[in-house]
Amino acid sequence: MHADTRAPVAAARRIVVKVGSSSLTTPDGHIDTDRVTRLSEVLAARRLAGTELLLVSSGAIAAGIGPLGLASRPRDLATQQAAASVGQGLLVARYTAAFARHGLTVGQVLLTVEDMIRRVQHRNAQRTLLRLLAVGAVPIVNENDTVATHEIRFGDNDRLAALVAHLVRADALLLLSDVAALYDGDPRRPGALPITDVRDPADLDGVELGRPGARGVGTGGMVTKVEAARIATGAGVPTLLTSAANAGAALAGEAVGTYFHPQDRRPSTRQLWLAHATTGRGRVWLDDGAVDAVVRRGASLLPAGVVRAEGEFHAGDPVDLCDARGVPVARGLVNYDAAELPELMGRSTRWLARELGPEYEREIVHRDDMVILAAS
């Protein structure tokens, strides 16, 4: 292993730590008090040493299973929401007590995808998290499971943690699970070898990214963890994946886990959210000239370049912008309802302003509200 490559984790002044359900709860669906206490101790020590710390904690649904007398992790959304409602309160109460022992205050922050992609809510979330840090509290973040629906759900906290790391411009992301590292195959099978460093997506060629752990309380398995690492490192945030038991060693920069090296670029936070935290509510088809303008020249999408729209979207919703073959080339927040578009398509903004009024002079999607998905 290359201990020196972990130095950015040890040196981070602001760090996001994500911990999975399997590391926080018992097999019968209760909070594992000992493990939460141990983890909180390690994190509190780092906070007291001066590092700003945000904890993205899963476990709400898993911690609601026991108290509600359920046999296993519920599969239907309504029962998951009920379990999360019970478990989230218990979890945060436990963290509050554990951090208080070290004189630290925690603040609960529940986020939805919906909150994140809209400009105002996005800034609001960012401001809240940064203010919590400024007043010395430890934000404890989770998805707002009780109101999230299937359509507007992250579903996994791995990607949420990566996006939070970017949102607050963290220096490092630590993903804590119940395995010591990413292995080249399912670690439950003999012979699987740990991967110490990932510098390039090609380093993962041939790696088998398996399902969640045997207890079935986790959601994404390694697929969402690797995706989270890709999001974070693509935004310049180094990412270390290891077990919760290794948290102390990982924070000290020791040679544990799998280290994903950062790429040297930082896209805008909202663009990252758009690309990774949303799916299009509809599709807008562009002519070749508009594809070229949007993809290669970084222009806004004007009504003149739109040939067709599909789906029931409203102004402010994310939509996929597709080329003539229907391949999504960009995603953006649309400025019109789907029902308004047929009248506008193919028209120049000048004509629209003259015929329909000055409010129709705006773009279909502004370039600042858009992210390019693929070169067409």
Ligand X SMILES: N[C@@H](CCC(=O)OP(=O)(O)O)C(=O)O
Ligand Y SMILES: Nc1ncnc2c1ncn2[C@@H]1O[C@H](COP(=O)(O)OP(=O)(O)O)[C@@H](O)[C@H]1O
Binding residues: 18, 58, 145, 157, 177-178, 219-225
Q: Which stretch binds ligand Y (CB under 6 A): 214-222, 301-309, 350-358, 367-375?
A: 214-222
Q: CB-based contacts of 277: which residues, under 8 Å, 6+ apart? A: 113, 116, 117, 154, 159, 160, 163
Q: Report the nearest approach of ligand X to the CB of residue 201 (Å).
A: 22
> With contact defined as beta carbons under 8 Å apart, do 25 and 32 qualify?
yes
For ligand X, the binding residue among 40, 51, 157, 258 (CB under 6 A) is: 157
CB of 70 to ligand Y, least distance (A): 18
Residue from 56, 117, 168, 182 binding ligand Y (CB under 6 A): 182
Nearer to ligand X, 215 or 308 (CB): 215
**Cα dist. 369→133, 273, 318 in Å?**
28, 11, 9
CA dist., res. 69 & res. 245, Å (int): 28
Q: Which CB atom, from 157 or from 376, has the smaller least distance to ligand Y?
A: 157
Q: Which is nearer to ligand Y, 39 or 294 (CB)?
A: 39
Is residue 221 part of the contact set for ligand Y (CB under 6 A)?
Answer: yes
Question: Binding site for substrate, residues?
Answer: 58, 145, 157
Cβ neighbours around 252 below 10 Å, total: 13
- Provide the minimum distance between the beta carbon of 219 and ligand Y in the complex, in angstroms, as a whole number: 6
Looking at 20-28, 106-114, 117-125, 328-336, which segment touches ligand X (CB under 6 A)?
A: 20-28
Binding residues for ATP: 18, 177-178, 219-225
* 208 in contact with ligand Y (CB under 6 A): yes
If contact means CB under 5 to 8 A according to the sort of partner, which of ligand X, ligand Y, none does residue 182 touch?
Answer: ligand Y
Q: 143 contacts which partner out of ligand Y, ligand X, none, CB within 5 to 8 A by kind?
A: ligand X
236 binds, among ligand X, ligand Y, none (CB under 5 to 8 A by kind): none
- Judged by beta carbon distances under 5 to 8 A according to partner kind, the member of ligand X, ligand Y, none in contact with residue 320 is none
Interface residue list for ligand X (CB under 6 A): 20-22, 58-62, 84, 142-143, 145, 156-157, 218-220
